[in-house]
Chains A and B, each alone.
Chain A
């Protein structure tokens, strides 16, 4: 899947998934509180399964409840997972304290590998995956429109919101324009050499910039024609939050956090 396709697919999913119409507050609250538990759970042996539980839970919600396509979810997961894996390999090989489990003599130093390093790296990896799944749950099930209404409620500066919503809208217009320009270039230049391609890309970027200035001008005119004079007012049409659902999520996450904390207190199996 190309990148622009991926953006479009994520956006489509946010509007068309099975729980698109349920309350964005509930979904956001769930995603963020679960994310907090996943990230802040202490790294001791029994609790390192917390991120794994979070990951499994969110994945079930994404694939089973929201009915997002598996292919899309995997496509989203793959890049950050590769990044996390590379970082964690380095973490495992070059960090840690205590008695080394393996040592190699190199002419200039001794390279030691530690058990705690490997454990930290594994836990970090799962923590990244758990956190990712929380965030993917949010962006795959909640549309930008709904999120912007939430941000408006928590008093994010209006200017920022207005600009980001305009950017959001015109990303898709310009993706289309860029795609057409690329095709037009390919049709006339063929694939060409490396330098030709760079030149083609530069032309495209320059043209797109000019197009965006023109678009801004025309959109401003069009907004004026409908009585725009300063702030962009929005319709506060919020999907009603399901109180019961919200309570269930709060209880569940509080319980979850408590169990994690108890395990931490009992402290069995400390590293």
Chain B
């Protein structure tokens, strides 16, 4: 297992119990969505995975070894587990895009020449090479997000953790980021862990779903299974993707014989509709 979390509890110093006995695990190459409402503990959980927060109790194992919190162990962990923050302004602190992307690899102690090449590659990957010399305040939010991602990619991580990767982005920037992430997962086998409450986006990338509610892990499984369980979804104050909702209504209100697992994406819906039309003809 890449990550194995057992009985993780985190209590903030003001007494808030942000995580309450969370146990979960995931493997190399997984595409995971961590779903939950605001204040459900998503960010707190993510912050544990690269050592920003320390568990109050419980254990976290990365590649079967418990996390260490010495500065050397943390540096080692953080080169493998990249973290992209929700607000790119928190992350982009350097005067130019290039210097910002170079920050991580330079901290790893790599030589200048090698860092230059890594930076150029990372910016190429996120399609921001033309902006290398620009200061971050010249960029749009979507561009800043991509630069923040490049800053993490430059450390050549095995896992990329993103907190709300598509919040406040326009539809086009959203789909660009998603495509980029899927491509990284496919080509470099980078494990993705995205925290979100954008339920329509989840079926587009995730093959595994964790649902949090008030610091507790409510459920885990494949998106299709979980989203078909409408009671569960309502219980955690979320909703199904629009398409699944439509099919649910069609089934319950109109009695149309739709399969038990509701389609979640446009392509799945198309298949289901065609299947229904076929059976109707016969």
* Contacts from A to B (Cβ < 8 Å): 11-12, 15, 21, 143-145, 148, 165-166, 168-170, 172-173, 215, 218-219, 221-229, 232-237
Which residue from A11, A228, A236 sits with its C-beta under 8 Å from B135? Answer: A11
Give the contacts of B117-131 with A (CB-CB under 8 A).
119
A172 partner residues in chain B, CB cutoff 8 A: 135, 137
Q: Is the CB of B52 within 8 A of A221?
A: yes
Q: Is the CB of B108 within 8 A of A227?
A: yes
Q: Is the CB of A229 within 8 A of B75?
A: yes
Q: Is the CB of A165 within 8 A of B94?
A: yes
B interface majority secondary structure: helix
Which of B78-86, B171-179, B274-282 makes up part of the contact surface? B78-86
Question: What separation, in Å, do the CA atoms of A218 and B87 have in the docked complex?
Answer: 10
Tell me, rounded to whole Å, the shortest Cβ–Cβ distance linking A148 to chain B. 7
Which residue of B has the minimal Cβ distance to A224?
A: B52
Question: What separation, in Å, do the CA atoms of A143 and B116 have in the docked complex?
Answer: 20
Which of B97-105, B213-221, B255-263 makes up part of the contact surface? B97-105
| Candidate in B90, B98, B134 with the most chain A CB atoms within 10 angstroms | B90
Q: Is the CB of B112 within 8 A of A236?
A: yes
Q: Is B106 in contact with chain A by the CB < 8 A criterion?
A: yes
Give 26 A-B contacts (CB < 8 Å), ordered by A residue. Answer: A15-B138, A145-B95, A145-B96, A145-B99, A145-B135, A148-B95, A165-B95, A166-B93, A169-B95, A173-B89, A215-B89, A215-B90, A218-B85, A221-B52, A224-B52, A226-B78, A226-B83, A226-B103, A226-B152, A227-B75, A227-B79, A233-B107, A234-B102, A235-B99, A235-B106, A235-B119
Question: What separation, in Å, do the CA atoms of A227 and B102 have in the docked complex?
Answer: 12
Q: Is B133 in contact with chain A by the CB < 8 A criterion?
A: yes
Which residue from B115, B135, B151 sits with its C-beta under 8 Å from A235? Answer: B115
Count residues of chain B with CB under 8 A from any CB of chain A: 40
B74 partner residues in chain A, CB cutoff 8 A: 224
A223 partner residues in chain B, CB cutoff 8 A: 93, 103
Tell me, rounded to whole Å, the shortest Cβ–Cβ distance linking A184 to chain B. 17
Question: What separation, in Å, do the CA atoms of A172 and B137 have in the docked complex?
Answer: 7
* Contacts from B to A (Cβ < 8 Å): 50, 52, 71, 74-75, 78-79, 82-83, 85, 87, 89-96, 98-99, 102-104, 106-108, 112, 115-116, 119, 133-138, 151-152, 155
Which residue of A has the minimal Cβ distance to B104?
A: A226
Q: Is the CB of B95 within 8 A of A168?
A: yes
A227-B133 contact, Cβ under 8 Å, with A219-B90, A222-B90, A234-B99: no
Question: What separation, in Å, do the CA atoms of A229 and B79 have in the docked complex?
Answer: 13
Question: What separation, in Å, do the CA atoms of A227 and B107 have in the docked complex?
Answer: 6
Question: What separation, in Å, do the CA atoms of A244 and B79 have in the docked complex?
Answer: 44
Question: What separation, in Å, do the CA atoms of A233 and B108 have in the docked complex?
Answer: 10
Q: Is the CB of A233 within 8 A of B95?
A: no
A228 partner residues in chain B, CB cutoff 8 A: 103, 107
A215 partner residues in chain B, CB cutoff 8 A: 89-90
Tell me, rounded to whole Å, the shortest Cβ–Cβ distance linking B120 to chain A. 10
B99 partner residues in chain A, CB cutoff 8 A: 145, 234-235
Q: Is the CB of A225 within 8 A of B107?
A: no
Question: What separation, in Å, do the CA atoms of A237 and B104 have in the docked complex?
Answer: 16
Question: What separation, in Å, do the CA atoms of A72 and B91 have in the docked complex?
Answer: 31
B91 partner residues in chain A, CB cutoff 8 A: 219, 222
A222 partner residues in chain B, CB cutoff 8 A: 83, 85, 90-91, 93
Q: Is the CB of B116 within 8 A of A237?
A: yes
